[in-house]
Structure 1
Amino acid sequence: MAKRKRRSKNRHTGRTWVISILAVIVIFLGVYVGHHFYRIWNQQRIEQEAREKDRRAKQLFIQQVAPEAQAMQNTYHVYASITIAQAILESQWGTSQLASQYHNLFGIKGTGANSQVMTTKEYVNGKWIVTKGRFRVYDSWSDSIKDHTRLMLNGTDTNQQNYDRVVHATNYQEAARGLQEAGYATDPDYAQKLISVIKAYKLYNYDK
């Protein structure tokens, strides 16, 4: 009888160890799975916050430049949507050094003391190259927008009618194509990029 009791006790001890090991495995798996899903949730939260921050920054930029762009449209018929879209593309939403430090939103070239040499990218002979250019310096974004409108109205030194198609356009698509044909930028997709930005952010609402 004593031997049978010892065997029963041994069997009971063995089952206890098995249960304990299984419990540890279950707990470990629970912690691992929980941590895994927490990391996924936390990463998604961080990405969502970053997207929301980026959205607010872009909306703020539009709100900052839109009033002056609309004022220029009301007086000189340069579409506000085109002005805003150009400012977005040329200044990287106002974050480029040229825009943030020298208030030049449109990459307008300059000469003399009221200008600054900057690095820029140009599309030449089928490829992008990095080069240096001299760009105008302004006191404010508002001044930059006003000068952009003057450029549309007065053209370049060699062609005063260079941007006539932009000024006399009947819609923003026509104005965008007019800018590209006039050689405002070397990017072969410049007009389409402007149109895409206008559509994506509903900038055509500012033309009303």
Structure 2
Amino acid sequence: MPQKRKTQHRRRRRTKKQKEKQRVYIIIAIVVVVILGIFGYQRYRQNQKTDAMNLVQEEHNAFIKKVAPEAIDLGHQYGVLPSITIGQAILESDWGNSTLASKYNNYFGIKGTDPNNTVVLQTKEYTDGQWVTINGRFRSYSDFRDSMKDHAKLLVNGTTWNSAQYQQVISSKDYIEAAVSLQTDGYATDPGYTTKIIRVIQKYDLMKYDKGIK
């Protein structure tokens, strides 16, 4: 009888140790799963971020490919550097995504007065050292190429009050000089306009489209 009790006691101890080992294994397994899950989630987020960046890059490249041929043709016709045309189209239209660009094919914020071919939209202008929101009347086009042509003609012919307003832009020998002239000639009120134009031209190597224009 005592021998039987001793055997049962040993069995209980072995069973207890086995349960403790199982508990340890389960805890280890849970920890491993959690760690792998964390790393897997981080990898997933990183892949998502990379995919999003690649998608944006593809969209940007597609926009440049879309407007570049017309910019080159206009460069030969009017002497406007294609890099400037493309760079302005990018900034003014937010890569073709602004309401004015996506709905009304106006890539340059060109304004008008005729109610039959214009729309009134809110826009921001830099006045007296601060940004203010105003309502502006902008041209509406059936095709984005028409807005690009109007942009080139505006730079060549100037405004109704100053036909020579953008002659410095037209006579500029390179994109840097032209970008500075856009600012000084009053094309945009944004004090950082020149810097933004130059940055986007350099980032996307848009100056390569200027070859043979001047």
Normalised by the size of structure 2, how large is the TM-score? Answer: 0.94
CA distance in 2, matches of 1:206, 1:3: 95
**Does 1:130 pair with 2:127?**
no
Aligned to 2:57: 55
**Does 1:186 pair with 2:189?**
yes
Q: 1:66 aligns with which of 68, 73, 76?
A: 68
CA distance in 1, matches of 2:76, 2:161: 27
Aligned to 2:86: 84
Determine helix, strand or coil for the equivalent of 1:186. coil
Aligned to 2:122: 119
Do the aligned partners of 2:125 and 2:133 also contact (CA within 8 Å) in 1?
yes
Aligned to 1:144: 147
Determine helix, strand or coil for the equivalent of 2:120. strand
What RMSD in Å do the two structures reach over aligned CA positions? 1.0
Structure 2 residues without counterparts, runs of 5 or longer: none
Aligned to 1:41: 43
Do the aligned partners of 2:63 and 2:96 also contact (CA within 8 Å) in 1?
yes
CA distance in 1, matches of 2:134, 2:20: 72
Do the aligned partners of 2:78 and 2:153 also contact (CA within 8 Å) in 1?
no
CA distance in 1, matches of 2:132, 2:42: 40
Structure 1 residues without counterparts, runs of 5 or longer: none
Aligned to 1:102: 104
**Does 1:165 pair with 2:168?**
yes
CA distance in 2, matches of 1:11, 1:131: 83
Offset, 1:20: 0.8
Q: Which amino acid aligns with 1:90?
A: E
**Does 1:75 pair with 2:52?**
no
Determine helix, strand or coil for the equivalent of 2:134. strand
Cα shift readout 1:121-149 (whole Å, capped 9, x = no counterpart): 11111111111100011121111111000
CA distance in 2, matches of 1:129, 1:12: 80
CA distance in 1, matches of 2:27, 2:188: 64
Offset, 1:64: 0.6
Offset, 1:115: 0.7
CA distance in 2, matches of 1:146, 1:24: 71
Aligned to 1:32: 34
